[in-house]
Amino acid sequence: MNCRFCRAPLSHKFAELVNSPLSNAFLTKEQLNESETYFPLTIYACTKCHLVQIDEYKNAREIFNGDYVYFSSYSTSWVAHAKRYVESMISRFGYNQDSLVVEIASNDGYLLQHFNNVGVPVLGVEPTTNTAQVAILKVSRQSRNISRRHLPSNSWNLVKLLIWYWEIMFWRTSLISMIS
């Protein structure tokens, strides 16, 4: 298996969580007496770029479909964390109405809404239709009308940096919560 970001071979196991059923695949009443499929849940950390990731045992289209039930905004503490994160990013990097914040796997807009609320244009990329529709309702017309001319030539570096930074912040927060 290779890193999804830098393509380096993955060998460092960050955590071994044994087996788990497919996330958000709730069983119907009729399926309760049937066997449920479990998949290995091994988390790797890339030794080259430090991205933490899991192996892909199930095609993304099978996981992120119209029945996807996880909406990040259901967790008020997570939304509050996202707001603090956005305030920190704006303070640190000076994002404003001339900036563009791109989030991959933006779910229901739980993070981007906070940039949008202070006038920073946003672009969310989300594979699940139902969560993306909720996110669209949270962002302004200004953000919905972003065109290619708004994307600087080095925009993919910004996207990669945002993903990398958000992953680190997520794991740091999660580890601190588990230790505390």
Determine the Cα angle at 60 with ends 172 and 86, to 5°. 35
Determine the average pLDDT of the residues in 91-119: 89
pLDDT band at 90 (very low <50, low <70, confident <90, very high): very high
Cα–Cα distance measured from residue 103 to residue 165, given in angstroms and rounded to the nearest whole number: 11
What local confidence, expressed as pLDDT, does residue 60 receive? Answer: 66
**Confidence at residue 36, expressed as pLDDT on a 0 to 100 scale:** 85
pLDDT greater at residue 127 or residue 114: 114
| CATH number of the structural domain spanning residue 165 | 3.40.50.150
Residue 18 lies in a domain: yes
Residues 89 and 149 in one domain: yes
User: How many structural domains comprise the chain?
Assistant: 2
User: Strand 38-45 vs strand 13-21: parallel, antiparallel, or unpaired?
Assistant: antiparallel
Q: Is 105 left (phi over 0), alpha (psi -120 to 50) or beta?
A: left
Do residues 98 and 39 both lie within one domain? Answer: no
Q: Is residue 6 part of a domain?
A: no
Q: What percent of the chain has pLDDT over 70?
A: 71
Name which of 112-126, 131-145, 148-162 the model is least confident about: 148-162
**pLDDT at position 59 over 60:** yes
| Same domain (yes/no): 106, 169 | yes
How would you class 49 by CB atoms within 10 Å of its CB: exposed for 0-12, middle for 13-18, buried for 19 or more?
Answer: middle
- Within a domain: 30: yes
Query: What size, in residues, is the chain?
Result: 180
The reply to whether 4 falls in a domain is: no
Residue 160 has pLDDT above 90, yes or no: no
174 and 92 inside one domain: yes
Same domain, 46 and 93: no
Q: Single out the residue of 95, 27, 33 nearest to residue 67, CA to CA.
A: 27
Burial environment of residue 37 by CB neighbours within 10 A (0 to 12, 13 to 18, 19 or more): exposed
Statement to judge: residues 79 and 144 lie in one domain? yes
